[in-house]
Structure 1
Amino acid sequence: MIAVTGANGQLGQKVIQTLLNTEKANTIVALVRNPDNAHALKQLGVAVRQADYNNPETLKSAFEGVEKLLLISGTEFGKRFEQHKAVIDAAMAQNVSLIAYTSLLKADTSPLLLAQEHKQTEAYFKNVSAPFVFLRNGWYTENYTDNVDSVLQMGAVAGAAKQGVLSTASRQDYADAAVAVLLSSQNQTGKIYELAGDTGFTLMEYASTLSEITGEDIGFLDMDESAYREALIKAGLPEGMAAALADSEHYAASGWLQDNSGTLSSLLGRPTATLRATLAAKKKS
């Protein structure tokens, strides 16, 4: 069986759907914090089990019979390493043969605040000799396209990435890549994949593309890290999240979210979705 943590999340749901394209529902385990909120997953016929990162007791039986696990990293900054550690320990106790972990692009050397808990988690995998494969995901295109309405309302793309290139890919791309690794006939243990979109863009290019698609005149508001952080807080983001996102864009300016290896499209066997395609799909929806 293949299990997916965070299966109620945006990435987790896409992974489950992709698995169902080729795998029988009774061979897939959707691990969620609260099974009462997993009605859509239950309707798909997959097994739904509780696996609360913050409650290790729920993890003891979550991995029974599981051969391969996709550990989707948590979202609670400052708590993620301990959460990941609890999952790894529980999975190893059940002799899971492969744990694929969604890490961050260039996690081992990245100066991003968001990379720190990924570094700790990757180190722990190695320290306990867990059977890992690291999926070092780059930025999601949706990190930007999900905010299109507010950008259109403001009339500008605001950010602190300067002219740094963002090699983004869609959530679906990353989901499909995770499935490709989980279902691969080749031994994946110990492999590390740096995953990013084929074609990147700057924030100015994002504004230009959005202008072309919508017919609106969208500008680029170039901000420093501090001003961008304050703007995010004013927009309603928690201070920790705002600081992490502003820090990420600060380092994106010097290339830390850029990658031209083509590893992601190689795993997919197809090109990654472009910014324009993702924006166009959102417009249709």
Structure 2
Amino acid sequence: MKLRSSSFSKPSSSFGSSSPSPSTSRPRSDSLPAKPETAKPKPVATPAQLQAGKNNLKPTDYGVVDPNLQGIRTRRDNQQTGAQFADFTQDVRQSTNRLTSKPVGNQMLNDINGRTQAVNPGATGTQSKPLTAMDIYSGRNSAMPNSHVPRNDGTLSSTRPAYRYDGQPGAGTASDVKYNENGGAQRFNSLGHESVHAWRASNGVQVSPLAASKHSNADVFNQHPSHSANMKDTVDNRLRLTEEFETVGLRPTPHTKNNWAPSENAIRAEHGLPSRQDYSGLKPDGKNSNDQAFKNYDEGTDARNFFQKLSGQPSPFQKIVGDLEK
């Protein structure tokens, strides 16, 4: 029904009683709503029209995955059309909703969201550029379609707040996560795994890679120059596996509030999925191939004397992993 301009009145310039005056309380016949039997039904959009609407979306950097998790957003990459980003964000929302539907996933994501200001110290967000604790990018074309990194400025030093050191947690950092929206039916669990890493980073309890630590050029690596690169790789693999074992739930995470930390296996359990017993075929049992290589290098570079060993002084290799893992 077409509304006439006479059916609108100018807003009053004064504040007072909300009761209508006698001269304005009587409804006009042309302001009545249309009767259901005479109202024209709204036409249903065709699939082509819906797709055109998606394609015409204004470019946006951030997408909301949950109205209660404003610190967790999707991010659009420069290869995504408006339609692709809308579909990606919708897929992340569905996976997020599955995670928040159960206690562990819900606490994990709310904890990450609650760390937003702490991992952006002194910063102020805007509507167009909100502060976030976790940004989620599409991993559809990546070599590692599901992955996590502490947010950084391109320097290793900027990642250090994500890591614990010498038995103390770091200050915490925000995270950038890649999520494969083209993954399998249980891809919500992939988002869960990467979100566990993000929770750990936001609380400063991740395990540092060797390169980001003060031990990256330790003297022990210079004892045998021809083996230096392999020794560093072995130590780095040990540290990376420790991070993954704790993320999966095969090892406990130290320095957490109330001794609680999320894990992939805890998420799996609350969704009725079987637990993982290893990470990439490796277990934290001291018997995997990297553990054996670590042991060989540790023993081969251990120059401690009898009294140093007796007093409990760690070997150079044990000192490195002790500082970064405990």
TM over 0.5: no
Pick the structure with greater CA Rg.
Answer: 2
Higher RCO, 1 vs 2 (CA within 8 Å, ≥6 residues apart): 1
Identify, as 1 or 2, the structure richer in strand: 1
